[in-house]
Amino acid sequence: MATIVGCVTTSHVPAIGGAIARGLQHEPYWKPFFDGFPPIREWLGRARPDAAVVFYNDHGLNFFLDKMPTFAVGAAPQYRNADEGWGIPTLPAFPGDPELSWRLIEHLVESDFDITSCQEMLVDHAFTMPMKLLWPDAGSSWPLPTVPVCINTVQHPLPSARRCVELGRAVGEAVRRWPADRRVLLIGSGGLSHQLDGRRAGFINKEFDQRFMQSLVDDPAWAAKYSIRELVELTGTQGVELLMWMAARAALGDGAELLHASYHIPISNTAAGTMAFAPAA
């Protein structure tokens, strides 16, 4: 049977890609963020995942306001990165894992989730940034196939935090029931608190961010008590991307060992956090 080796959560910001492209990882502005990843890369070397399920939110590259699924799962042989208009370099195509994709889709539908199945799919910086941060030396090919799981955080109504936790749990069940000798990594990409526009542009809530990060250690469904409106108030319009962290952490299961955590503000008016978990012993 397949094994879930762990879970990594991280913020995504287009400026991260620009910093990588310009070699700014050791500049004082960026260093505290990038320093969060070497310990996780060392752990990944020991954990040896051979597939990754990536929970992320699309920013208009693959889906737009006229067609915005609540939940979408990629089932393509590969996922191409395209220009989003941010001026960041595009990356080589990511190999897919159709067998794992359909395993997730079928289980999610059986679990009463209405899923959009995507046999062609573009992926934006929310997907590419964690991959590049975790495997910076991938070059022209990536070391493992991927399955994108996209959660709508753009067009209201958004799925509730409770529903995203349930989605994550169902994904974890599907992986653990997969009769394949595979080692699967879960990635949650998004957040933490930030707002890019309006009267609260630049809003960051450090106190809530740190409480939320701690909750993923000792009470993974803690933030599910808040409505989407309340989460927007607490974290900013774009901070609601923390739904991806909740889904990925829920997929790991109730018990988990915190391996590493870091928090840094600001990066491009965004609170940036990184966490890594292993399954409970």
Which residues are part of the catalytic machinery? 125, 194
Q: State how far Cα 7 lies from the chain centre.
A: 10
- For residues 181 and 165, give the distance between their C-alpha atoms in angstroms, rounded to a whole number: 26
Burial 196-221 (b: 16+ CB within 10 A, else e): eeeeeeebbbeebbeebbebbeeebb
CA distances, 6 to each of 23, 24, 232, 252 (Å): 29, 29, 28, 7
Let me know: does 66 contact 159? Beta carbons within 8 Å. Answer: no
Collapsed DSSP state (helix, strand, coil) of residue 236: coil
Helix H segments across 161-261? 161-176, 206-218, 228-235, 242-252
* Token reading at 31: 């260093």
Residues linked to residue 9 through DSSP beta bridges, in sequence order: 188, 275
